[in-house]
Chains A and B, each alone.
Chain A
Amino acid sequence: MSRGFGWHELLYVLRGLGWTLALSAMALTAGGLGGLIIALARQSRARLLRIVAGGFILLLQGTPVLMQLFLAFYGLAVLTGFRMDPWPAVILAFTLYAAAFLGEIWQGAIEAVPRTQWEAAHALGLRRHVILLRVVAPQAVRLAIPPTVGFLVQLVKSTAVASIIGFVELTRAGQLMVNVTFQPMLIYPLVAMLYFVVCWPISLLASWLERRLDVGRRPVGRMLGGT
């Protein structure tokens, strides 16, 4: 007899949710670091650095996350002769993904700080990296917060793709429970609701922050739609 959907099954799904959150948090942290490096590289005076960083962003924004995952999963173990577990491969893929998107958002925020700020600081005799750190960064951070929070929603949703390679996060946990209980009508909408419960408050926060921080320019944040 197929099992009914009871406490055990619900707990399994919730554990999957836990993994989704853990994966998102790790990708955000490591990706945040990476994004910072990318954004700074894009500001660098060394042209090669700017181009490589730009190429990285283009590569990761111009290809599906699913493909990036497949490549990390199958490719890395082959390339390095290193026995990859699914967990590190998944973290790597989403970290790179987050680094590219955050790098672009933060670069956009840096560029959105009016040129006059740079010029004035320069006229005052401040050196380039000091200007970046003390004058531009604080303003850029303000501009960057709403789209960064918005991207967090994007990131959490994208982790669903990890289910396709068998990583047991929320979506896969739901799938496995459907296979065991044969109740897709109950479980998939439940899974959708769990994502909603996590993502919607973050979306609302992003909107509130955008209004509160009085960010006039739209393009950096709004263009981040995503699926």
Chain B
Amino acid sequence: MERRNLLTAGTAAGLLAAAMATPAAAQGTAGSTAGGLSTLDRIQRNKKVAITAEVDSPPFGILDSDGKPDGSEIATARQLAKDLGVELEFVQVNATQRIPALLAGRVDIAISSLSITTERAKVAAFCAPHGALSIVVCGPKSSAIANAADMAGKRIALTRATLEEATVPKVAPPDTKLVYFDDIGPTIQALLSGQVDGAGMSAFAAKSVADRNPTAGIEVKFTVTTAYYSAMVRQADESLRHWIDTWVFVNSHNGVLAGIYEKYTGVKLPPLPAI
């Protein structure tokens, strides 16, 4: 009986190893298909583009009363698909899945308030920025956090794979208890249910949470950093990236991007630099 267990354990390990060995041989080409067709060509040929939809991240992506995606990044994606002249397929993702979904080929473009950082640029390519945000720490009035040092000994919620996850720990004192969630929704819930004393998120999200829950008395405590955000594509998809850069250029001058931004954030779009 012991030997049979060992044998089956060995087979299990073998199956795992085999699953691992196949990609070394078969190189998964999600970006370019056989025959050297670029992603942009493929999108235009199939008349379909797949874009991320983060629906748990106000005001960039939310669910409206019919359960359909809405928000500034959602609207941006819709406009982009329209101008590309193709059908749009939204792929719902949470915060941690935005870039992996792109890398794995589940989407062609990731448009989900992805702030421009050098870390992310190692694995995927940023297009020209089409928006700006700031990361803040927010909390109920009862939490006495006036600056980063006041976070000492407090519980602060952060969402994984976000700019706040990358920046807040750097300014937090060592005895801060940082608590991580996989999506912005649970982070907000933890804040509202009082499970944490504060949470890191974009200023827009904090405002959205505060507005929708006046009784909770959520207020911005201090700003951590500011950033521009843009669409992301896989590093190999250069023609697609150039197209999106051009699209951002055109639409930042005709007021379309500004219109979307202001509608959902209530703030004027700042001048956008080139990348």
Contacts and interface: CB of A to CB of B under 8 A. Distances in A.
B106 A2 contact: no
A84 B104 contact: yes
A154 B29 CA distance: 37
A167 to B, nearest CB: 8
A2 B212 CA distance: 5
B35 interface: no
A79 B8 contact: no
Contacts of B51: none
A133 B112 CA distance: 56
Interface stretch (B91-99, B224-232, B242-250): B91-99
A118 interface: no
Interface stretch (B13-21, B74-82, B125-133): B13-21
A184 B189 contact: yes
B8 A58 contact: yes
Contact of A175 (B50, B100, B105, B186): B186
Interface residues of B, number: 47
Interface in B1-49: 4, 7-12, 14-16, 19, 22-23, 26-30
A193 interface: no
A178 interface: yes
Given A78-B104, A81-B28, A176-B185, A51 B11 contact: yes
B38 to A, nearest CB: 15
Contacts of A192: none
Contact of A79 (B16, B28, B97, B192): B28
A176 B28 contact: no
Interface centre among B16, B63, B182, B211 (most CB of A within 10 A): B63
B50 A83 contact: yes
A74 B93 contact: no
Interface in A62-93: 62, 74-75, 77-86
B8 A51 contact: yes
B103 to A, nearest CB: 8
B116 interface: no
B105 A81 contact: yes
B83 interface: no
B65 A3 contact: yes
A55 B101 CA distance: 30
A141 interface: no
Contacts of A1: 211-212
B93 A166 contact: yes
10 contacts: A1-B212, A55-B10, A62-B12, A77-B104, A81-B26, A81-B29, A83-B50, A165-B97, A176-B63, A179-B185
10 A-B pairs with the lowest CB-CB distances in the bound complex, closest first: A55-B11, A81-B28, A77-B104, A2-B212, A54-B8, A179-B185, A59-B12, A55-B12, A58-B12, A12-B67
